[in-house]
């Protein structure tokens, strides 16, 4: 019976992922305040300071309009159906579909990541935690639930990069890094994740060469973007202002700590509970990445915007997955009983994880 139920859970989980992604896409584009409106962002005019470098959504918009324009000319009355306000334009539909695709991709990659850690049926249901965390990091933020066109796509790319880093696939990692960095420069931090997770699996010379090549690639992308922006607008493309003093000031506000404590939907508690079961390499890498990210965001970000930590939920998922796997392995090696001394069945642990 356990096997039959496990088989049925696979399509059920896929359906749940699709429904969750659709709900998130609508909610994200209605319950957040647009800090960078897509209607102006899509034009790629070079203004917008550091946001101008995050070009991928605008490039996807231009590609979509170019591909669909012949279809529109052939069928001039064809258009996307109208949703309730504020979804009344092609741009509105585009950002909804982009958000949906990014969230669905995040959940599917999270499933593959968990499946690569533990193949027991039910284990990959923890992937839904990525959607749960995203709600807390974007819409349920106190006073700073802001919308940016590239945020959910950044979560997808970072989750994919973490998966490829864990799998040790440098070619695929490098190829994904290109659109990921075009979307948001924080993708470059994934290079350190690749370095940490693959340390000791490659020769040191080869590993450092791979990471140096990846670093050179993101620098080249940034220089090309800067040249493009400077060509359009010589006064545009400025870097982010120093937010350090503002962030320190906010730390004296009790609401700041209440908001920060809800990051990842409190999923970090599970990572702490299963900490001792996480491999040392992953522990060290995770700590280093969190410290690096936190230090950088204290200077260039606004900490009360919890969304700036959203991508790191992929690292939290990796730690939880490995931690739960280690815990289950330990339990399988220990003699244990259920109820009146009946031996535990092998599917028990997977059933608990699925619930």
* pLDDT at residue 121 in the model: 74
How many Cα atoms are found within 13 Å in the side-chain-facing hemisphere of 126?
A: 31
Distance CA 130, CA 128 (A): 5
pLDDT tens figures, 255-291? 899 989 999 999 999 999 999 999 999 999 999 999 9
Task: Dig out the tokens for 319 from the structure.
Answer: 């730690």
| 42 contacts: CB under 8 Å, gap ≥ 6 | 57, 58, 61, 62, 91
* pLDDT at residue 335 in the model: 64
* pLDDT at residue 340 in the model: 41
* pLDDT at residue 119 in the model: 85
Task: Find the mean pLDDT for residues 136-147.
Answer: 87
Task: Dig out the tokens for 329 from the structure.
Answer: 């392995």
Task: Find the mean pLDDT for residues 128-148.
Answer: 91
pLDDT tens figures, 149-166? 999 999 999 999 999 999
* Winning range, highest mean pLDDT, from 4-8, 99-103, 329-333, 334-338: 99-103
Q: Residue with structure tokens 């591909």?
A: 67
If you ran DSSP here, which 8-state letter would residue 251 be given? T
| 180 contacts: CB under 8 Å, gap ≥ 6 | 154, 157, 158, 160, 161, 187, 190
In the predicted model, is pLDDT for residue 83 greater than 70?
A: no
| Strands 33-34 vs 146-147: parallel, antiparallel or unpaired | parallel
In the predicted model, is pLDDT for residue 336 greater than 60?
A: no
pLDDT tens figures, 186-238? 999 999 999 999 999 999 999 999 999 999 999 999 999 999 888 887 666 55
Q: Residue with structure tokens 């309730």?
A: 84
What does pLDDT average to over the chain?
Answer: 86
Distance CA 219, CA 227 (A): 12
How far CA 256 is from CA of 96, 158, 244, in Å, comes to 30, 26, 15
178 and 157 in contact (C-beta within 8 Å)? no
In the predicted model, is pLDDT for residue 6 greater than 70?
A: no
149 and 36 in contact (C-beta within 8 Å)? yes
Task: Find the mean pLDDT for residues 44-60.
Answer: 81
147-156, 321-330, 335-344: range with lowest mean pLDDT: 335-344
| Pick from 131, 126, 104: nearest CA to 114 | 126
């Amino acid at each position: 019976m356990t096997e039959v139920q496990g088989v049925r859970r696979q399509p059920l989980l896929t359906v749940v992922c699709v429904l969750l992604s659709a709900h998130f896409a609508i909610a994200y584009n209605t319950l957040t305040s647009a800090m960078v409106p897509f209607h102006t962002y899509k034009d790629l005019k070079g203004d917008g300071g550091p946001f101008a470098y995050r070009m991928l959504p605008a490039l996807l918009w231009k590609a979509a309009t170019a591909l669909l324009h012949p279809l529109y000319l052939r069928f001039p009355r064809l258009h996307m159906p109208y949703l309730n306000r504020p979804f009344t334009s092609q741009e509105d539909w585009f950002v909804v579909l982009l958000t949906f695709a990014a969230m669905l991709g995040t959940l599917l990659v999270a499933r593959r990541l968990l499946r690569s850690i533990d193949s027991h049926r039910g284990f990959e249901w923890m992937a839904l935690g990525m959607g749960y965390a995203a709600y807390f990091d974007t819409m349920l933020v106190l006073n700073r639930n802001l919308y940016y066109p590239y945020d959910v796509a950044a979560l997808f790319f970072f989750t994919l990069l973490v998966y490829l880093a864990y799998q040790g696939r440098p070619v695929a990692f490098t190829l994904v890094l290109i659109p990921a960095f075009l979307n948001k420069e924080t993708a470059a931090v994934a290079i350190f994740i690749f370095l940490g997770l693959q340390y000791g699996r490659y020769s040191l010379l080869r590993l450092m060469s791979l990471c140096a090549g990846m670093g050179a690639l993101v620098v080249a992308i940034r220089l090309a973007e800067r040249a493009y922006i400077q060509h359009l607008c010589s006064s545009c493309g400025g870097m982010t202002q120093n937010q350090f003093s503002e962030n320190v000031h906010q730390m004296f506000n009790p609401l700041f700590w209440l908001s920060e404590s809800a990051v990842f939907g409190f999923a970090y508690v599970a990572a702490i509970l299963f900490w001792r079961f996480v491999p040392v390499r992953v522990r060290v890498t995770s700590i280093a990445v969190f410290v690096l990210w936190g230090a950088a965001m204290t200077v260039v970000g606004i900490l009360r915007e919890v969304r700036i930590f959203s991508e790191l939920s992929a690292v939290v998922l990796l730690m939880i997955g490995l931690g739960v796997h280690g815990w289950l392995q330990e339990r399988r090696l220990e003699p244990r009983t259920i109820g009146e001394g009946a031996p535990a069945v092998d599917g028990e642990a997977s059933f608990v994880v699925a619930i």
